[in-house]
């Protein structure tokens, strides 16, 4: 199953912020977590995560810092900010409204299908 582009784009921001609300992380690990959370069904083009991270950073929802270990390559870590948490909470309520509405609609659809089959559908 492939999830539509628009849906991926809409959900990516809150998903990334929710993952970072668990603790600071870096690009590759965030992507792994996304795939874990969705049971491998939500697959992003890897590169696209980074413009998103930069946008959230610019909006002040994330903090970023380079971690340069003594040996090895430096890596950029992201952490959610208080403003990010607030935005996340806000988006969460929005998503819940959408979710609830959709659930209601699915439910109604199912009961409509079972009680009154479509004409000519016998």
Partner 1 sequence: MAPNAFSAYVRSAPRRSLNAVDESIEGQISQWREYVLRRGTLGAAEVDELEDHLRTQVADLGETGLSPDEALLVAVKRMGNLDDLTREFAREHSERLWKQLVLTGTPEPDDRSRRRDFWMMMGYAVAAAVAIKIPALFGREFADDDGFYIRNVGLLVLALLAAYFAHRRRLRGPGLVWLVVLFAMGAVFANLHPFESGGSTELLVGLHLPVFLWLLVGFSYLSADWRSGHRRMDFVRFTGEWFIYYVLIALGGGVLLMVLSATFAAIGIETVEVVESWLVPCGVAGASVVAAWLVEAKQSVIENMAPVLTRVFTPLFAAMFLASVVALIWTGNAIDVERDLLILLDVSLIVVLGLLLYSVSARERTAPPTLNDYLQLVLVVSALVLDVLALAAILSRISEFGFTPNRTAGLGMNLILAVNLGWSAWLSLGFLRRRRPLAALEKWQTDYIPVYALWGAVVTVAFPPLFGYA
CB of 95 to partner 1, least distance (A): 23
Q: For partner 1, which is the closer residue by CB, 8 or 92?
A: 8
The Cα-based distances of 16 to 20, 24, 25, 45 in angstroms read: 6, 11, 10, 14
CB of 71 to partner 1, least distance (A): 14
Q: For partner 1, which is the closer residue by CB, 47 or 120?
A: 47
Alpha helices in 22-120 (DSSP H): 27-37, 49-58, 82-115
Q: For partner 1, which is the closer residue by CB, 21 or 59?
A: 59
- Measured from the Cβ of residue 109, the count of other Cβ atoms closer than 10 Å reads 10
Token couple for 115: 């009680």
Q: For partner 1, which is the closer residue by CB, 48 or 112?
A: 48
CB of 47 to partner 1, least distance (A): 4
Q: Which residues bind partner 1 (CB under 8 A)?
A: 26-28, 45-48, 50-51, 54-55, 58, 66, 73-76
Determine the Cα–Cα distance for residues 93 and 87; give it in Å rounded to an integer.
10
């Amino acid at each position: 199953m492939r999830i539509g582009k628009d849906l991926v784009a809409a959900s990516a921001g809150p998903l990334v912020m929710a993952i970072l609300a668990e603790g600071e992380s870096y690009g590759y690990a965030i992507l792994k977590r996304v795939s874990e959370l969705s049971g491998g069904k939500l697959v992003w083009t890897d590169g696209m995560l980074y413009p998103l991270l930069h946008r959230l950073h610019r909006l002040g929802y994330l903090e970023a810092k380079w971690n340069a270990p003594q040996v090895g390559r430096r890596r950029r870590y992201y952490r959610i900010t208080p403003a990010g948490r607030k935005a996340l909470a806000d988006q969460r309520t929005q998503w819940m409204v959408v979710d609830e509405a959709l659930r209601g609609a699915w439910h109604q659809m199912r009961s409509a299908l079972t009680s009154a089959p479509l004409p000519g559908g016998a």
